[in-house]
Amino acid sequence: MRALAVSYVIETKDVSVVLCGGKLTEAIMDKKNKNSSELLGQYIVGMAAFKLQNPAVTNENAAQLAGLESTLRAYESMIKVKPKTKHTGLDGLVTLRNNGGLKAFVDEIDCAKK
């Protein structure tokens, strides 16, 4: 299903997403992350879903945050099934989210200005 959703985002003119890169996605795309391709897809789908559900919101950082939160929820589900696929970088982002610091992290990177 995720692959179909990513294909939709790639092919549609209804929504576009920005892959910010750098610090924001380094844990997702890390070669040591055994779930990287699935989580990158989830990041894309999460951003697209946010933009489609909130067309009046033009804040790119809000979309990035929604994509990252979606990714972290997917990651937590994945490691419940396969605990050996835990990733230190993603665990750090989960902790940051749980402590209320994820929005500040995204705002600091500020993909909207890139």
Tell me the per-residue pLDDT of 57-102, one tens digit each, with 9 for 90 and over: 999 999 999 999 999 999 999 999 999 999 999 999 999 999 999 9
Q: Is the pLDDT of residue 39 over 90?
A: yes
Q: How far apart are CA 54 and CA 23, in angstroms?
A: 25
Cβ neighbours of residue 52 closer than 8 Å, sequence gap 6 or more = 14, 15
Residue with tokens 């997702």: 28
Q: How far apart are CA 30 and CA 22, in angstroms?
A: 11
Cβ neighbours of residue 71 closer than 8 Å, sequence gap 6 or more = 28, 39, 42, 43, 46
Q: How far apart are CA 73 and CA 38, in angstroms?
A: 12
pLDDT score, position 114: 61
Integer Rg of the chain from CA: 14
Q: What mean pLDDT is reported for the chain?
A: 92
Query: In terms of residues, how long is the chain?
Result: 114
Nearest to 93 by CA among 113, 112, 65: 65
Q: Are 15 and 23 a contacting pair, CB within 8 Å?
A: no
What pLDDT digit, counting tens, does each position of 94-112 carry? Answer: 999 999 999 999 999 998 7
